[in-house]
C-alpha cells in the first residue's frame, strides 16, 4: 500500500533558513568530495597505472551520465518548488512519478547497453576486463531514479535531508570500494563500490521522499517539462565542455608526464566549482518559488555570488601558498612545483562557478539566454585551448581569459536584461 509524504518544504524561504540549509549542504558536499578524493588517492596508490586508468574510466562514464541525472534533478526541483508555492500535492506526486518512470526507462536502456556491450567496450578501451562495464551498468537505473528524489527534496527546500544523501553515497562508495580493493578485487571491487553507492542512495532518498499515489500527468505538463529540458541540456553541455575539454586536449597534445601533472592540477582546481554547487542547489528552488510568487530573487543571486567569490578567493590563496606542497605529498615530488598554475586554474574555475550560478538562477525562473551564452563560452574556450595547447601555462592562460570573458558577458546580460525581467 502506497503512502503520500506531505509535500511541504521543511524550511521557509527566508535568508536565515536558506543560509542554514545551504551551510548544511555545503558541509555535506565538502565531506562527500573529500571522501571521493581520498578514494582516488587510495586507488592511485594501490592499483597499477593500467588498473587505475580502468577505474578512472568507470568514473568518467558515470560523469557523462551525470548530465542526465542532474537534468532530472533540476527539472524536478523547479516544478516541485512551483507546486509547493501553490500547495498542490497532487501535481507534485504526478510529476515525481512521471519523472521517476522515465528515469527507470532511461536507466534500463543504459544498463542494457553497458551490459550487452561490455565485451566491445573492453576491447575499444583496452581494458583488462569487461566485468566493470556490466557492474556499472546495473547501477545506472538506481542512479537516475535517485536523481528525481533528490530534485523533490531540493524543490521542497529540504536541504538537510538532501545533504545527508550525498554523505550516504560517499560513505558506501569509499568503505565498500576500499574494502574490496584491499581484499584483492581490484577494479571490479572499486566498481562494485561505485554501483552499490547508487543503490544505497536510491534507497535512502526513497525513504526520505516516500512513495506517491498514481495521478494523471497531462500532456500540457509533459510539454512544459520537455521545453524546459532544452535549456537545462544547454547548461549541462556547456559544463561538460568547460570542465572536461581541457583535460582531453592536454592528454592529446602534451607529453604523457606533463599531461599527468596537468590532470592533477585540474582534479584539485575544479574542486571550487563542485563545492559551489551547494550554493547553486540552495538558491535554484528558492528563486523558482519567489519568481512564481512574483517576488524579486536578485538578492539571493547577489548573496550567492558573494559566497562563491569568497570560496574562490580562499581557494586561490590556499593554492598559491600550499598547492604544490600538498600535491607533492599526496601524488609525488613531480607535482610539488605547481602552486602557481594551480592558483591560476582555481581562479579560472571560480569565474566559471560564478557564471554558472547566474545561469542556473535565470533557468530557475525560465529564462534561457544565459544558458546559450554559457554553451557559446564553452565552445570559445575549446577553440582557445586548441590554439594555445603547447604547455600547461598556455592552457591555463587560455582558460583564464575565456572564463573571465564568459563571466563578464553573463554578468552584463543579467544586469542589463535579467534584473529588468
Task: Give me the DSSP letters along 277-330.
Answer: HHHHHHHHHHHHHHHHTT---HHHHHHHHHHHHHHHHHHHHHHHHHHHHHHHHH
Interhelix angle 339-364/256-269, rounded to 10 degrees, is 50
Range of lowest pLDDT (124-133, 139-148, 323-332) = 323-332
Give residues with Cβ within 8 angstroms of 372, minimum separation 6: 231, 234
3-state DSSP assignment of residue 128: coil
Distance CA 122, CA 354 (A): 39
Distance CA 24, CA 105 (A): 33
The alpha helices in 117-158, defined as continuous H runs, are 118-124, 131-155
Q: Give the closest residue to 162 by CA, choosing from 14, 11, 358, 25.
A: 25
Determine the straight-line distance between the first and last CA of the chain, rounded to whole angstroms. 46
Cell of 139: 547501477
Give residues with Cβ within 8 angstroms of 385, minimum separation 6: 245, 246, 249, 395, 398, 399
pLDDT tens across 366-389, in order?
A: 888 888 999 999 999 999 999 988
Determine the pLDDT at residue 175: 96
> Is pLDDT at 13 greater than 90 in this prediction?
no
- 65 — pLDDT class (breaks 50, 70, 90): confident
Phi, psi (deg, nearest 5) at residue 413: -60, -40
- 419 — pLDDT class (breaks 50, 70, 90): low
Determine the pLDDT at residue 12: 46
> Is pLDDT at 346 greater than 60 in this prediction?
yes
Cell of 330: 599526496
Give residues with Cβ within 8 angstroms of 404, minimum separation 6: 348, 351
- DSSP code for 183: T
> Is pLDDT at 15 greater than 70 in this prediction?
no
- CB-based burial, 118-147: b 16+ in 10 Å, e otherwise: beebbeeeebebbbbbbbbbbbbbbbbbbb
- DSSP code for 333: G
State the Cα angle at 153 between 148 and 156, rounded to 5°: 125
Cell of 75: 527539472
Phi, psi (deg, nearest 5) at residue 239: -65, -45
3-state DSSP assignment of residue 25: helix
> Is pLDDT at 296 greater than 90 in this prediction?
no
pLDDT tens across 297-318, in order?
A: 888 899 999 999 999 999 999 9
This prediction has a pTM of 0.78
Distance CA 108, CA 96 (A): 18
- For the beta carbon of residue 229, count every other beta carbon within 10 angstroms: 14
Ramachandran region, residue 101 (left: φ > 0; alpha: ψ -120 to 50; beta: rest): alpha
Across 22-30, average pLDDT: 82
> Is pLDDT at 9 greater than 70 in this prediction?
no
Question: How many percent of the chain have pLDDT more than 90?
Answer: 40
Q: Give the closest residue to 135 by CA, choosing from 214, 81, 69, 58.
A: 58
> Is pLDDT at 92 greater than 90 in this prediction?
no
Amino acid at each position: 500500500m502506497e503512502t503520500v509524504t506531505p509535500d511541504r518544504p521543511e524550511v521557509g524561504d527566508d535568508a536565515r533558513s536558506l543560509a542554514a540549509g545551504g551551510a548544511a549542504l555545503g558541509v555535506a558536499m565538502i565531506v562527500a568530495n573529500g571522501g571521493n578524493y581520498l578514494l582516488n588517492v587510495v586507488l592511485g596508490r594501490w592499483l597499477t597505472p593500467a588498473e587505475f586508468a580502468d577505474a578512472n574510466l568507470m568514473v568518467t562514464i558515470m560523469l557523462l551520465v551525470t548530465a542526465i541525472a542532474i537534468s532530472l534533478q533540476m527539472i524536478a526541483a523547479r516544478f516541485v518548488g512551483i507546486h509547493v508555492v501553490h500547495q498542490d500535492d497532487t501535481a507534485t506526486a504526478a510529476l515525481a512519478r512521471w519523472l521517476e518512470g522515465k528515469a527507470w526507462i532511461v536507466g534500463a536502456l543504459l544498463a542494457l547497453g553497458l551490459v550487452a556491450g561490455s565485451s566491445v567496450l573492453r576491447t575499444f578501451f583496452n581494458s583488462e576486463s569487461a566485468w566493470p562495464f556490466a557492474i556499472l551498468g546495473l547501477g545506472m537505473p538506481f542512479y537516475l531514479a535517485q536523481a528525481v528524489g533528490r530534485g523533490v527534496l531540493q524543490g521542497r527546500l529540504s536541504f538537510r535531508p538532501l545533504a545527508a544523501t550525498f554523505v550516504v553515497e560517499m560513505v558506501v562508495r569509499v568503505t565498500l570500494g576500499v574494502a574490496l580493493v584491499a581484499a584483492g578485487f581490484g577494479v571490479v571491487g572499486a566498481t562494485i563500490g561505485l554501483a552499490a553507492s547508487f543503490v544505497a542512495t536510491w534507497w535512502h532518498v526513497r525513504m526520505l521522499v516516500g512513495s506517491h499515489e498514481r495521478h494523471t500527468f497531462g500532456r500540457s505538463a509533459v510539454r512544459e517539462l520537455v521545453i524546459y529540458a532544452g535549456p537545462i541540456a544547454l547548461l549541462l553541455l556547456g559544463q561538460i565542455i568547460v570542465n572536461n575539454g581541457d583535460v582531453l586536449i592536454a592528454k592529446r597534445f602534451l607529453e604523457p608526464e606533463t599531461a599527468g601533472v596537468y590532470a592533477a592540477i585540474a582534479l584539485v582546481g575544479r574542486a571550487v566549482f563542485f563545492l559551489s554547487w551547494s550554493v547553486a542547489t540552495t538558491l535554484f528552488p528558492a528563486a523558482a518559488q519567489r519568481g512564481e510568487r512574483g517576488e524579486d530573487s536578485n538578492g539571493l543571486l547577489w548573496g550567492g555570488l558573494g559566497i562563491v567569490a569568497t570560496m574562490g578567493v580562499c581557494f586561490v590563496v590556499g593554492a598559491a601558498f600550499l598547492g604544490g606542497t600538498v600535491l607533492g605529498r599526496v601524488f609525488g615530488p613531480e607535482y610539488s612545483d605547481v602552486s602557481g598554475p594551480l592558483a591560476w586554474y582555481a581562479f579560472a574555475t571560480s569565474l566559471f562557478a560564478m557564471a554558472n550560478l547566474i545561469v542556473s538562477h535565470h533557468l530557475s525562473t525560465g529564462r534561457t539566454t544565459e544558458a546559450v551564452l554559457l554553451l557559446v563560452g564553452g565552445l570559445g574556450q575549446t577553440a582557445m585551448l586548441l590554439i594555445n595547447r603547447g604547455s600547461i601555462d598556455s592552457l591555463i592562460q587560455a582558460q583564464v581569459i575565456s572564463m573571465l570573458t564568459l563571466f563578464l558577458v553573463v554578468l552584463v546580460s543579467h544586469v542589463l536584461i535579467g534584473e529588468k525581467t
